[in-house]
Amino acid sequence: MKVIDWLLRDAPLATRREITPKLGFVLTILLALIWLIPFLWMGVATLRPASDGINLMAELMPSVKPTLDNIRDAWEIGDFPRYTLNTTIICTGILLVQFVTITLAGFAFARLSFAGKTLIFYLFLMQLMLVPVLLIVPNLSLVAQLGLYDTLTGVMMPFFASAFGTFLMRQAFEAIPTELEDAALIDGAGLFQCIRHIYVPLSMPSFSAFAIISVTSHWNDFLWPLMVINSPDKRPLTVGLSVFTATAEGTQAWGTIAAGTLMVIAPLLVTFLIFQKRFISSFVTSGIK
Amino acid sequence: MLFSRRLMLGLAMAGTLAGALAFPAIAGEGTTEIDLFFPVPVDGKLARDMGTLIKEFNETHPGVKATAVYTGSYDDTLIKTRAAIKAGKPPAAVIMSANFLLDMQIENELTNLDSLIKADGTTKEQFLGQFFPALQGNAVIDRSVYGVPFHNSTPLLYINADKAKEVGLDPSKPPQTWAELTDWAKKLTKREGDKVTQWGIAIPCAYDYCGWMMETLTMSNGGRYYNEEFGGEVYYDTPSMLGALTWWNDLIFKHKVHAPGATPGPAVSTSFISGNAAMMMLSTGSLTYVRDNAKFNYKVAFIPRNVRNAVPIGGASLIVPAGLEADKQKAAWTLIKWMTSPEKSGWWSRATGYFAPNKAAYKTPEMLEFLNKNPDAKTAVEQLDVAKPWFATYKTVPVRKNLEDEVMLVLNGKKQPKEALAAAQKAADETLKPYNAETSLKLP
């Protein structure tokens, strides 16, 4: 019980004696453990020597003789620094352009009035219903016509505008009291100054929430970059990693796969750990602006 | 602030710079730049071997600069090739799953290779005569050559010889019929109470593999799977396929000698290597992996028969997409001929476990020495005498998935074979409908 008391040291006094919050707490711990198992296995499998054989591959107990061979293998098979750079360029490039487009589009839908606004907004939202695979061929044709086939810009292009992001920013801007804008207008601010000094700073949580969603989804995108990129030196991480995971015949060197996967997710994981507090708070914001 | 202004500006600069740097490479004077799309159907280290092979080609052919472009699985490679053709950026050559050729030819996505063969001063018969006859069915469409076999396979029965001996079976006389195989699997299954500690047999079922295994079992049962002469018909709801699927279903639920559920290929080879399964049916493409990793004596044998000995071929052919400039087409043809030569295809065969489609590869000294050391590599080649083409129809992949989805339900115990095959047939007929409307049902 001492442990539980210590764990609950921050809980409000009123709930110390209640059972429900404790149950929730235990459940959260359980879920976290379940979520951790694949990560643990990945770490263990990465350090397992090949001499342990396939039988021990599924074990969660670390090997007695850990080795860095798998990491070296994966590092040699794939040009990971280059892949990571490419993926980073793709994700940040997309995100930066998206910030501009979703801010302006979101503002237009939230605050401006123009003919057919609702209809256009709904048409915009219909993008969310489309399966990305449907658009591969038309998008690729367009990218090729623009001379962007086999370029990183070509990979980013289709994602510069985001229906989801526009919707998110519209909701965020609508929640901001118009009085703030009116005050700024009376002080002689222009439209863009209003956006820059009132709307954007007050919607930061929505921006960071969108940034997380955008970066994680494009970080993990496989099929579209596979379609656009031919040159080995322009491969993003996902395509680079699949070289030794997508085998139809023969089988897989699990240790190498684990090592490669670890390298792919490490940057995301580190970023998450650094910004953890901010990430959590961006999803749980109070309604008061 | 998570994103300070300065950071944002810095990132924006970096983004534009990177965008500016990412321009397509410009070819040097007088060299033809070509792309070769290749999937990695085997161990990932082979991606590096392919790089080595292409590098050697570039060093020996100064007029051509080929780039090996890795394109995922067989199915992904088809998607990428098609998208590239439609976008007006066709690759010069592709290592394409042998059973996609008909589908691509129907869609006018392939270059007819007859004129290229003729320009070399060889006849079609001479050209095709280099390859094993079983491979020609998937490379020749309407008497024209559309693909050059590159690495091919047949399914094999792998047996853990040590475990067979343990239970008093003779691995030098492997099972020849389904009855014998069922008996072997029963003897090789170990149980502790209700729990199975060692499965008698493992057969893979995941997209792509599953259809191939169904064709294997159906052919062994006297069936055809599809109409070899016409791309608009498959025979799913037939006695021969029903027998095949029922037997597979019985191995799981009646005899309990095969693990329930649909197991992907890599999991099957893993469980064979770890001794968790005493026998498996798998492609000869896995042979190198088994040879390098098995810590026991193993034996490879023909796929047992119920009605007749017959198996489909597998593997891939080199194709030239439609819509290429003449110089690229010529360069691609040079590359293809070089890659399918006896020496190179022999080298690739020894590296992978696939057999070399070029008959002359088996006369090279390196290959003779290799076969002396590894007699198991002969089995797949010997089995070619009873091999038939791989199913190829209009929309091969969706038609294949119509069957695979139902087979997976059966193996998971959610459906009975009879109703599953009826549903698969209905779905496949629907998928094939547009083609039949343009061909067999287009009446004067």
Q: Which residues pair with A228 in a beta bridge?
A: none
Q: What is the pLDDT of residue A136?
A: 87
Chain B interface disruption, residue of A59, A84, A251, most B CBs within 10 A = A251
Residues B88-99 pLDDT 10s? 999 999 999 999
Which DSSP symbol is given to B27?
P
User: Model-level pTM greater than 0.85?
Assistant: no
- Per DSSP, the three-state class of A78 is coil
Distance CA B74, CA B206 (A): 13
Torsion sign over Cα A226, A231, A234, A237: positive
According to the model, what pLDDT value does residue B159 have?
97
| Per-residue pLDDT at B4 exceeds 70 | no
pLDDT band at B2 (very low <50, low <70, confident <90, very high): very low
Average pLDDT value for residue range A256-263: 83
Confidence check: pLDDT of B24 > 60: no
Of A141, A231, A251, the CB nearest to B286: A251
- A140 interface with B at CB cutoff 8 Å: yes
Is residue B57 within 8 A of residue B66, CB to CB? The reply is yes
Chain B nearest-CA distance from A173, in A, is 19
Whole-angstrom distance, CA of residue A227 vs CA of residue A136: 8
Distance CA A23, CA A8 (A): 12
A180, two tokens: 């703030």
Residue B194 carries which side chain, given as an amino acid letter?
D
B26 touches chain A (CB under 8 A): no
Cα–Cα distance, B167 to B187 (Å, whole number): 7
Interface of B with A in 180-239 (CB under 8 A): 208-209
Rounded Cα gap, residues B310 and B347, in angstroms: 28
What is the C-alpha separation between B88 and A144, in angstroms, rounded?
Answer: 7
- Pairwise CA distance, residues B119 & B368, whole Å: 33
- Banded model confidence at residue A245, pLDDT cuts 50, 70, 90: low
Question: Which of B372, B349, B376 minimizes the C-alpha distance to B156?
Answer: B376
Q: Within its chain, how far is the Cα of B288 from the centroid?
A: 16
**Structure confidence at residue B433 (pLDDT):** 96
- pLDDT recorded at residue B346: 92
Closest by CA to A268, choosing from A243, A233, A239, A237, is A237
Confidence class of residue B1 from pLDDT cuts 50, 70 and 90? Answer: very low
DSSP state, B110?
B
Does position A155 have pLDDT exceeding 50, yes or no? yes
pLDDT in tens, B258-283: 999 999 888 898 889 889 999 999 99
Q: What pLDDT score was predicted for residue A19?
A: 75
List the structure tokens of A224.
């579209």
Q: Do B209 and A230 touch (CB under 8 A)?
A: no
Tell whether the model's pLDDT for residue A39 goes beyond 90: no
Question: Hey, which bits of A101-160 come out as E strands?
Answer: none
| β-pair partners for B240 | none
